[in-house]
Amino acid sequence: MSATVDPAPGKTPSQARRRKPGLVGWVVNRVGLDETMEDQYNRVVPRHATNYIYCVGGVALVLFLILAITGILLAVYYQPTPDTAYQSVLNISTHVQFGWWIRSIHRWAAGGMVLLVVVHMLRVFFTGAYKAPRELNWLTGVALLGITMGFGFTGYLLPWDQKAYWATKVGTDIAGSVPFIGHFLLVSLRGGEQISAATLGRFFALHVLVLPGVIIVLLLGHFWMIRRQGISGRL
């Protein structure tokens, strides 16, 4: 009479069958990716959510990932000083292999992300997806829109040409016109009364360090709430 052998002590047969060999399997088995992916696969997507307008937010996320990759590649060659910034951008566009292509992708992806985030916000508003219990998710979305605009504003100065200089001057002047705290905002953004090397350094730090860190935290919270609350229904 044959005895039944437990395939993996402390594990169910289904869990034992899911074990994968090799280093990748070792990692997958210990962080529980199988269970996580099984949960994702088993979620039911509402029929109305297959409409293309409900995919705009996801496309905006893809553009953000493209911006992150191309931004890292550009930062390898970019030099954030008044004496070298414009020349380094020119060097990227003319001498670095595929530099012009990477810079073009970065520029067009930036414009596309701003447009898609605005469209996504309008969809959420007009379908009433900001209502209870999704108010906090709406607020994080508004914050994400602000961060996205901040990326565009800070990145515009980095080429350090005449167009970038005067656009930044107008933008910081607008910030300076805010009642009570306007002068504080202007000096904080410029690093002084005038646009200078301090302004370029601050905008570069905001563009590649501060804003990416903030947007990643907001995105994690945003998507966690979407997974928890599900996709909103039609209005």
CATH number for the domain spanning 120: value is 1.20.810.10
* Lowest-confidence pick of 3-17, 18-32, 34-48, 125-139: 3-17
* Lowest-confidence pick of 5-14, 38-47, 48-57: 5-14
Long-range Cβ pairs for the range 121-129 (8 Å, 24+): 121/145, 123/53, 123/54, 123/56, 124/232, 126/235, 127/232, 127/234, 127/235, 128/232, 128/235, 129/232
Amino acid at 41: Y
Residue 102 inside a domain? The answer is yes
Residue 128 inside a domain? The answer is yes
Residue 30 inside a domain? The answer is no
pLDDT, one tens digit per residue, over 135-147 is: 999 999 999 999 9
Residue 53 inside a domain? The answer is no
Residue-number span of the structural domain to which 103 is assigned: 59-229
Number of domains in the chain: 1
The pTM score is 0.84
Kind plus residue range of the DSSP H or E element containing 120: helix 99-126
Amino acid at 92: I
Residue 24 inside a domain? The answer is no
The overall average pLDDT reported for the chain is 88
User: CB count, 10 Å around CB of 33?
Assistant: 14
Place of tokens 């985030």: 117
Q: Which of 223, 235, 215, 175 is nearest to 199 (CA)?
A: 175
pLDDT for 42 equals: 72
Residue 76 inside a domain? The answer is yes
Q: How far, in Å, CA of 208 to CA of 72, rounded?
A: 9
Residue 174 inside a domain? The answer is yes
Residue 144 inside a domain? The answer is yes
pLDDT of 235 over the 60 cut: no
- Note whether 204 and 71 are within 8 A (CB): no
Q: Which of 66, 130, 50 is nearest to 103 (CA)?
A: 66
pLDDT of 44 over the 80 cut: no
In order of 92, 109, 189, 220, the CA distances from 85 in angstroms are 11, 21, 18, 33
